Amino acid sequence: MNLGMTLARNARQIPEKKAVIFGEKSYTYKQLNQKVNQLANGLVASQIKKGEKIAILMKNSDQFVIVFYAIMKVGAIAVPINFRLATAEVRYILEDSDASVLFFDEPYTSLVSQVTENNKNIKLQVCAGNKIEKNQLTMNAISNDNVSEPFVEVLESDVAEILYTSGTTGNPKGALFDHHRILYVAFTSAIMMKMGPEDNLLHVAPLFHSAQLNLFMITGTLLGSTQVIQQDFHPVHVLQAMEQHKITLFFAVPTMYNFLLQVPNYEKYDLSSVKRCGYGAAPMSTALLQQVMKLFRHEQFFNMCGLTEAGPGGVLLLPDEHKTKMGAGGKAMLCTEVRVVNERGEDVAPFETGEFIIKSEMVMKEYYKNPEETRQTLRNGWLYTGDLAIVDEDGYITLVDRKKDMIISGGENIYSTEVEQALYQHPDILEAAVIGLPDEIWGEKVVAIVVGKKGRNLDVEALKLFCCERLASYKVPTEIIVENTIPRNASGKILKYRLREALS
């Protein structure tokens, strides 16, 4: 089995089933498979060999799906790139991944010319639109009329993806996955979230991110679900799509759910078809989760807590478990072992803090061209995540911070997520981030950066008093800074290192 075969199988078994809807365009599984094969055969005709790396600098679209599966069918390796990265960051990933082909959206035509100017590895620059510059081709020019399956043997053990980490602590690293690992992710996601061919999925989180790509798009294709794709996240358009296309399953990062609640008269939309919701990539406060449950009028929410290097895999909090364990990360996903260990590699006692580690078939094979980081991260079959966590008396794991984000003030360990949870209880706060900054007396001080909801004025002293009622005195922020925005990557994760750099 390989990822390309899952699409080909659906084209044979459910050829007229609606596969992908993007704006006014839609494809049956037969039509989608034919489009993919035309591009795949065009790549073969262009002398693209099995094992070559093919970068994708594209927003969510039908074209993204076609490109991805064409790559799978020719046995090449997909390298999705965050389209919000700066020029230097895109250039870094292209060079680090040894990409020989770059697919891109038309708005990035000039950017692509810049980042490939001195890149000797890039053989093909392929635009999904029609506006091209020197040395660039269009997808139509690359594709040919051959709709048959490309004659390339692709094994489960062949590498399928290099997914670059979100770079919240510095340069991103390329996590390498073969078809076997990604299929395991899809099977696990399908079973644990009770997904099936009857589901209508809505993709609004970026497909370059491992959660939307591996957990949902690839799983939806495997199962023969109908997938509605939106290019950008716009809360009104999301609610409209849910109503129009009778979406049954939805995944988003907490920030997106927060913005859905800011839509005026959001209760007028018929969201009754949405039976299950997933959230992850960043912590969601209990207060926000309760509001979102009221929006969708159900409690079928799944907390998916993992990381890119794990597929993404890790722990999952099922809907019924939210009733007593809301706020926890959950227990191990299917086919996954998880532990929380101390510096000696021993399991910690309940409510003691340790490092969260994972073992499963879904964990990355290695970091691409980075043996030292691989050795530090993969040890004795376990993935050491760098996340700090606690385990309660019932075995539920909750991530409390990144190792690098834990604040030590006056000898006391302070976890930024705990302080953020307290701030999110305030009705006027839209976003909050907590970091530690150097302090001559205490070693580090607690600093909070907050964004107010539209039309609300935040009183810093009142916020401190609010925190005093909910936190131990040493955890209360000594400084609260009101900003218009908080820097996040495209996956919704707060870039705390940028906040530290800006405020140090």
For the chain, which residues make up each domain, given as ranges? 3-16+25-154, 195-298, 406-503
Strand order in the sheet with 124-127: 136-138, 124-127, 99-104, 53-57, 77-80, 159-164, 174-178, 366-367
CB 197 within 8 A of CB 14: yes
- Taking the CA atoms of residue 109, residue 115, residue 116 and residue 117 in that order, the dihedral angle to the nearest 10 degrees is 100
3-class secondary structure, 30? helix
* DSSP conformation class of 48: P
pLDDT digits over 260-285, tens only? 999 999 999 999 999 999 998 766 87
CB 81 within 8 A of CB 104: no
The string of DSSP letters for 273-334 reads T--EEEEESS---HHHHHHHHHHHT---EEEEEEEGGGSSEEEEE-GGGHHHHTTS-BEEPT
Signed CA dihedral, 252, 254, 257, 262: sign only? negative
- Buried b / exposed e along 284-296 (16+ C-beta atoms within 10 A): bbeebbeebbebb
Strand partners, 432: 450
Mean pLDDT of the chain: 93
Signed CA dihedral, 152, 156, 159, 161: sign only? positive
Whats the size of the chain, residue-wise? Answer: 504
The Cα 68–Cα 54 span in angstroms is 9
Quick one: which of 430, 425, 352, 339 has its CA closest to 385? Answer: 339
* Domain formed by 3-16+25-154, architecture: 3-Layer(aba) Sandwich (3.40)
pLDDT at 179 (0 to 100): 98
pTM: 0.85
User: Do 3-16+25-154 and 195-298 show the same overall fold?
Assistant: yes
CB 306 within 8 A of CB 387: no
Strand partners, 278: 251, 302
User: Kind and range of the H or E element at 33?
Assistant: helix 29-45
The CATH code for residues 195-298 is 3.40.50.980
Quick one: which of 3, 118, 125 has its CA closest to 55? Answer: 125
Quick one: which of 218, 406, 395, 199 has its CA closest to 312? Answer: 218
Place of tokens 């009028």: 297
pLDDT at 167 (0 to 100): 56
CATH class of residue range 406-503: alpha beta
Give the ranges where 77-156 is alpha helix by DSSP (H). 87-97, 109-115, 139-142
CB 270 within 8 A of CB 282: no
Residue ranges of the chain with per-residue pLDDT less than 50: none
